[in-house]
Structure 1
Amino acid sequence: MGKRIVNYLKYVFDAVISIIYYNDEKCAVCKKEIYDDENICKECLNKVKFCDSRYFIEKNDISFEVYCTAYYSSVIREMIIKLKYRKDFLCGEVLAELMHKVLIEKNIQFDEIVFVPMTKHDLKKRGFNQSEFLASKLSSRVDKPLKNYIRKNLQTKDQIGLTDEMRWDNLKRSFSFYGQEKIKDKVVLLIDDVFTTGATAFFCSKELINNGAKKVIVLTVAKSSI
């Protein structure tokens, strides 16, 4: 527990320092100078392939809707990689703002925000959870409570490179609900970085719905494909 707290505080410190000492006159992606309040230049923003579709996943009596901000390509892919593996929290700020715009434009209504968890091993290795970072930024923007209802118990293979069927098998029994608060009749917004087959979103949503959630809405930064 002590090491986890230390790692979390280090993550918070790195995020704050990254934002405070970042030159806000440069694009978070290409580093070109910009002259407005945005953290991404118009050229890079124009390269983003936004995803306007809403998806529905239904399996074994569990159903939920999915909104993806953009497709996993070009600038979006670069920002996700920088956030996850280089702790570039300014890229994370840009991604969170793009997700926030989806919530507004689609008029998505919900009561609480949760995020896709990581195992203790992966959290210790990376130092922070990118989905939790994005969820916390959205929580502040929309003034909705951020909850930590789901735990990932099993260390699974990396989903990258796995087939559709392998991805679903890989995540069976990986997640569990451990929230102490009641979520009965709550509409929950589940945050993740990339949506591919829907396996991660399904098993997390299953835990939430089976423990009383009225509805689960999934919002991700990007939509990918195998």
Structure 2
Amino acid sequence: MNACLYCEGVHTSQFTFSQFLRGVENGLCELCLKKCLFIKEPYCLLCGRSLLRLSSQFIDHDICKDCAIWKTSSYEGMMTKNRSLLHYNDFMKEWMKRFKFQGDYALLPSFKKEWRSLFYQHFKTCSFIIPIPLSEERHFERGFNQSEALASLLPRQIVSPLSRIHTEKQSKKNKQERLQEELFSFSFSRKLNNEEVLLIDDIYTTGATLYKASKVLKQNGAGLISAMTLARS
């Protein structure tokens, strides 16, 4: 039996002998998993937001109204879709606080099995993975890039063609402020050659970060661009 990564209680799952031989991966106990809300269909075909939890007035056919607005902006077509694993509920806010802001890196494998399953379900044809970068100042402050950590759990090459321009934290800005701000520059040694790429980030909030990253990548030769995030607010 293993201790839960989050509450350190006993993990009661039963493992086969073959799993034991290759090493049991830690995870969350059943009590902690019950506090998680995994996103299920129906969801917005663009951003992956659950439509079950959304009033009909905020749904435009099979996409949410936020994505309908993105489709009429200059960012239309930059990103094919985002898929998120979990709702950003109270449990995930506390989990993210410990992982991202308090540096509890040991929490990383909490959702490894489900995270990889989401990848194989939607993104197995991508050429490589691009984590959303942090500015040098923010990286120094936190000690690691949470998006790079999440990307490391997936079976694809990780490349870093984007550099982050240091700004005030995105969580402190409204949607209009996020839209007006330049976030990324292209810092790769070559243009992308129409490759299919997957952006990785921790939380999808307004979509501004991912759309801005996608636009820079498109301007530098990327083909299909999708995104995968651990949580959707």
- TM-score w.r.t. the length of structure 2 is 0.76
Match of 1:63 in 2: 78
Residue deviations 1:152-191 (CA, integer Å, cap 9, x gap): 12x212222422212222xx22201111144212110100
Question: Which of these residues, 22, 32, 35, is aligned with residue 44 of structure 1?
Answer: 32
How has the CA–CA distance of structure 1 residues 107 and 115 changed in structure 2, closer, same or farther, with 3 Å as cutoff? closer
- Counterpart among 11, 29, 32 of residue 6 in structure 2: 29
Aligned partners of 2:117, 2:231: CA distance in 1, in Å?
A: 14
- The 1:223/1:33 distance shift into structure 2, 3 A limit, reads same
1:23-82, CA deviations, whole angstroms, 9 ceiling, x for partnerless residues? x71111221111344411122112211123342553314431111111111332222211
Instruction: Give the count of matched residue pairs.
Output: 194
**Aligned match of 1:150:** 162
For residues 213 and 25 of structure 1, what CA distance do their matches in structure 2 show? 43
CA distance in 2 between partners of 1:148 and 1:107 (Å)? 18
Letter in 1 for 2:195: K
**Contact kept in structure 1, 2:103 and 2:142, CA below 8 Å:** no
The runs of at least 4 aligned residues of structure 1 exceeding 6 Å deviation read none
Letter in 2 for 1:74: D
Q: Which has the higher helix share?
A: 1
Contact 1:194-1:220 at 8 Å conserved across structures: yes
Query: Offset of 1:90 from its aligned partner?
Result: 2.6
Residues 182 and 166 of structure 1: CA distance in aligned 2, closer, same or farther (over 3 Å): closer
> Contact 2:132–2:200 at 8 Å: present in 1 too?
yes
Report which stretch shifted further, 121-130 or 35-44. 35-44
Partner of 1:166 in structure 2? Answer: 177
Number of the residue aligned with 1:115: 131
Q: Secondary structure at the match of 1:137?
A: coil
Residue 87 of structure 1 aligns with which residue? 103
Compare 195-204 and 76-85 and name the one that shifted more. 76-85
Amino acid at match of 2:2: E
Does the 8 Å contact 2:27/2:111 carry over to 1? Answer: no
Q: Which amino acid in structure 2 is aligned with residue 128 of structure 1?
A: F
What is the TM-score of this pair, normalised by structure 1? 0.78
Give me the whole-angstrom Cα distance separating, in 2, the residues matched to 1:178 and 1:186: 17
Deviation of 1:96 (Å): 4.0
Amino acid at match of 2:88: Y
Equivalent in the alignment of 1:184: 193
Which piece of structure 1 moves more, 193-202 or 52-61? 52-61
Q: Which moved more, 1:124-133 or 1:76-85?
A: 76-85
In the alignment, what sits opposite 2:205?
196
Partner Cα separation in structure 1 for residue 199 and residue 137 of structure 2: 22
Gap regions ≥5 residues in structure 1: 1-23
Unaligned runs of 5+ in 2: 14-23, 48-69
Gap change, CA 1:222 and 1:191, over 3 Å in 2:
same
RMSD (Å) for aligned C-alpha atoms = 1.9
Distance 1:106 1:202 in 2: 19
Aligned CA distance change for structure 1 residues 129 and 107 (closer, same or farther; 3 Å): closer
Shift of 1:108: 4.3
CA distance, structure 1, for counterparts of residue 137 and residue 123 of structure 2? 37
